Structure 1
Amino acid sequence: MALKDLTDHSLLKKCRQDDQSAYEILFERYFRRLFNFTLHYIKDPVIAEELVMDLMLMLWKKRHQIELRGDLLPYLFGAMRNTVISHVRKRAIVTTSLEVIHNEFTGLARSADYDLYSREAEGIYQQKLNKLSPQRRLVFEMSRFENKSYAEIAGQLNLSLNTVRNHMTASLQYFREHLGKYIDATLTVMLLFLMKR
C-alpha cells in the first residue's frame, strides 16, 4: 500500500519512527484545510500560514508524545482553534502596548530616548537577521519586506514549497528564541512593530 493511502494513525506511527515522508503526507493532507479554517478568523494569509506552519511543526516535534484517542483531524482543528484564540489575545496585548508606547511619546515627538530605542531595536533585529544563512535570509526578506507568498518565493528561487515553509518556520523560531534575551518588554513590542513594517 502506498504511503499516501495509509490512515492517519498509521502515518503517525511511522512519524514516531522518524519517517519524514509520512509526516509530509500528513502535512499535505491537512495544511490547506487548517489554513482555510485559520484564515476565516485571522484574515491575514501570511499570519494564517505562519500559525498553521507552527502547529504542523509542533506535530512533528511532539510526534513521540502525541497519543490520539480519536481521529487526527478533530485533534488538529482543536489545536488550531486554541492557537487562533491565543494569537488573538496576544495581538490585543501588542496593540494595547503599542498604543501605550505611542501615548508615552506624544509631546516628545521623536525625542532622543525614542530615537535611541528605535535605533537599538533596529540594530538588534538587523544583527540577528544577518546571522541567518543567505538563502534563509532571502526567503525571510521576500516574505516580510516584499509581502510575497510562499508559492511566489518558491517560484522565483526555484525551491520547493516545503523548503520555503521550512526556511520561514526556522527563521521565525530563531527570532523568537534569540531576541527576547537582548531586549525588555517595551523594546520587544517595538521590535515586533519594526519586523511587520
Structure 2
Amino acid sequence: MLECSQDNLRAFNQLFDRYFEPLYKFSLNYVKNMEAAEELTMDMMHNIWRKRNTIEIQGEVKHYLFGAMKNVLFNYIKKKQMATVTIDELPEMTQLSSETVSQEIAFKELEKLYHQKLEQLSPQRQKIFRLSREEQMTYPQIAENMNLSINTIKTQMLMSLKFLRENMREHVDMTLVLFLYLFF
C-alpha cells in the first residue's frame, strides 16, 4: 500500500488483482446481486486509489480492505432499506397518488437529465455503459464485443458510474426511482 501512496499505478493494479475477487465474493454474500457487488467493490477500490495519499494503514492491508468493504456494504444496505418503493409498486404508486401528474413530470425531467449526463460521457464510455445497463451484457461480453480487456470495461464503467452519481447527487430520491425503473 505504501507504493500506491507514492502514485505507483502498477502497485495498485497488483493490489487490485490480488484483492478484487475476494472482496467481490465478500460483497456478494451480503447484497446477493452480482452487478451490485461488482459495482460496490469497484467503487471501494476506486476510492482507495483516489485517497491513496491520505490513507494510513495500521496492520495488514487485507484487514484494511475488508474493513473498508464492510463499511461500503453497510452504507449500501442502509440506503437500500431506506428506499421503500419497489419496482413492482411503481405503477400502483403512480395510479393511486393524487400527485400523479407532478410525479410524472418530475420523473420525465429526471430521465431527461439522466440522458443529458449520459451524453456527456465519452463515446466509448457511453457505449460500454449502454451495453451493460440497457442491453444487460456482461463485462466479458462487452469486452469481446468491443475488442477491449475486461479491466478496461470495468474501469470505464467505474468512471461512468462515478460521473453519473456525482452529477445526479442532488436528485438522489428521484434518481433511485429512475435507476430502479430503467435497470431492473
TM alignment of 1:1-197, pairs within 5 A: 12-96=1-85, 105-108=94-97, 111-181=100-170, 183=171, 185-197=172-184
Tell which structure's C-alpha radius of gyration is larger. Answer: 1
SS at match of 1:159: coil
Q: Which runs of 4+ in 1 moved over 2 A?
A: 95-115, 185-197
Shift of residue 74 of structure 1?
A: 1.1
Partner letter of residue 8 of structure 2? D
Any stretches of 5+ residues in structure 1 without a counterpart?
1-11
Distance in 2, matches of 1:159 and 1:121, equals: 32
RMSD in angstroms over aligned alpha carbons?
2.4
User: Which amino acid in the other structure matches residue 183 of structure 2?
Assistant: K
Distance in 1 separating the partners of 2:85 and 2:105 = 22
- Provide the TM-score with structure 2 as the length reference: 0.88
SS of the residue 1:95 aligns to:
coil
Q: Which deviations, in whole Å up to 9, do the C-alpha atoms of 1:139-164 show, x marking residues without a partner?
A: 11111112222222112111112211
How many residue pairs get aligned? The number is 184
| Equivalent position SS for 1:139 | helix
Contact 1:38 1:52 in 2 (8 A): yes
Runs of 5+ in structure 2 lacking a partner?
none
Shift of 1:192: 2.8
Cα distance in 2 for partners of 1:169, 1:87 equals 16
Alignment partners' CA distance in 2, 1:141 and 1:45: 18
> What do residues 73-110 of structure 1 show as CA deviations (whole Å, max 9, x unaligned)?
11111111111111111011123487997776343599
